[in-house]
Amino acid sequence: MVQTKKVNNHLQLIIPDDWDGLTIEQLLKEVWQLPKKRIHQLRMDKAIGMNERIVPFSEVIHSGDCMLIENIFNEHHANFSRTKKDIQFLYEDDFLLIANKPAGILTHPNTRDETNTLTNGIVSYLQEKNERGKVQHVHRLDKDTSGAILFAKSSFVGSILDRMLEERRIKRTYTAVVHGKFEKMRGTIQAPIGRNRHHPTRRRVSKNGQDAITHYQVISFDARNNQSQILCRLDTGRTHQIRVHLSHIGHPLLGDVLYGGQPVFYRQALHAKYLSFTHPLTLEKVQVEASYLDDFPDLLGEK
C-alpha cells in the first residue's frame, strides 16, 4: 500500500519499495502512463517536488521519499447543473468513487438541457462537501442498465484510469437474464460491432465494425420460462456490446425490445454487478459488488 493523501489541492505520497530507483519521468510515463501533454504541463509548471524541494524529472526516487504533486485538485467541476440525487456509493476516497447507478437515468448529460443524470448528482454531492475537482466517468452504462460505475475526482486520476481501462486492468462483470437455454455453460463471443445505418441508436455485428469480445458463464436456468441468468465479462467496451452480442447468438436480454427481447421486464435485464481493479495511487485492491436497486429478475437458485 502507498501512503497517499490530499493536502489542500495537492497530492502527497510516500514512495513505496516497488518504485525505488525509478526516475520521476519513469513513474509518470511508465507506471502511471500519463499522456505526454499532461507530463509536459507538469514539467513546465514545476509541479512536482521531492522532500520539500523542486526537482528535475530525471531525479531518482527512493523508498520513503515524500512526493508532492501540486494543484491536482485545483479544477472546477465541469459546467454541470447541480441535481441533488439519492446515490448509493460503493467506494470513495479522495481520488475516485464508485456509484451504483439506478436504471432509468443517463450516466452523463449529452446536452446542457439534460440535468437528471448520475454525473449531475455526483457533482452536487461533491460540491456539498466543498470538494474541488473534475468529475470524470471512466466508463458508461446505458440509461436502462444499472450497476457499478467508476468516476475519477480529477483529470489527473482520470487519465490513469482511462489507460487502465484500455489495457483491461479494470475488470467489469455483469449479470444478465436472457431468453433461451445455452448449449454450453460458458463461452466467448468475439464479433466486431458497428453502427446500424438504418437505425440511429442501434448497433449490429458487422465485419467492418470494431473488435468486441464478451465472455459469458451460465449460472442458472429457469425451464418453466425458458430463461437463463448469466455472468458476462468484457474485454472491450463497445456501445451496447453485451446486448448486441447476446442477441447475435439468439439470446436477447429480457426487456431489450431494441435487440429482440420480449417486454417481460420493464427494461433490459442487465446489471453491472462486480467491479475490481488495483487503485492507481494507493496500489490497494478495490473490489465492489453492486446490489440490485429494483426488482431485477434474479434467477439464482432456480433450475
Residue 82: what residue type? R
Strand partners, 69: 11, 48
The residue written with cell numbers 417486454 in the block is 263
Residues 6+ apart with CB under 8 A from 127: 77, 82
Q: How far apart are CA 274 and CA 289, in angstroms?
A: 5
The residue from 94, 142, 162, 256 that is catalytic is 142
Strand order in the sheet with 48-50: 4-7, 10-14, 66-69, 48-50, 53-54
Three-state secondary structure of 57-99? CCCECCCCCEEEECCCCCCCCCCCCCCCCCCEEEEECCCEEEE
Residues 6+ apart with CB under 8 A from 200: none
Does 256 participate in catalysis according to the annotation?
Answer: no
Task: Cell numbers for 177, please give them.
Answer: 437474464
**What are the residue numbers of the active site?**
142
